[in-house]
Amino acid sequence: MKNFIQPGDTITIPAPAAVKSGDLVQVNALTGVAATDAAQDQPVAISVKGVFALPKSNAVLPVGAPVEWTGTAVASLADGDQIGVVVEAATAGDATAKVLLR
């Protein structure tokens, strides 16, 4: 295919802010996890597919629960954009939730 660009599991974008490896990066409807550290506006590779342990709110998140990003943590989907689904139940006391990115 002469119009194929890349598989799309990981893409490189300008960092919307300073990011650390493992940070969730969200730009409009594009969500991924930073592969490396990057300063704002510098290129950063983000993984847009896969399961990642992400910081979570103090909510209970059952398997299959759709989640959104609050800017600091994943939380039950309310008024935001769905970034993925929980793949392992997380209790209120858990610091992270395992999320399959969508």
**Residue 50, phi-psi category: left (phi > 0), alpha (psi -120 to 50), beta (remainder):** left
- Residue 17: the pLDDT is 97
Tell me what pLDDT residue 1 has: 84
Q: How confident is the model at residue 41 (pLDDT cuts 50, 70, 90)?
A: very high
Dist CA 22 CA 34 (whole Å)? 5
Q: How would you label 43-73 residue by residue, b for 16+ Cβ within 10 Å and e otherwise? A: ebbbebeeebebbbbebebeeebebbbeeeb
pLDDT in tens, 76-89: 999 889 999 999 99
* Confidence at residue 69, expressed as pLDDT on a 0 to 100 scale: 94
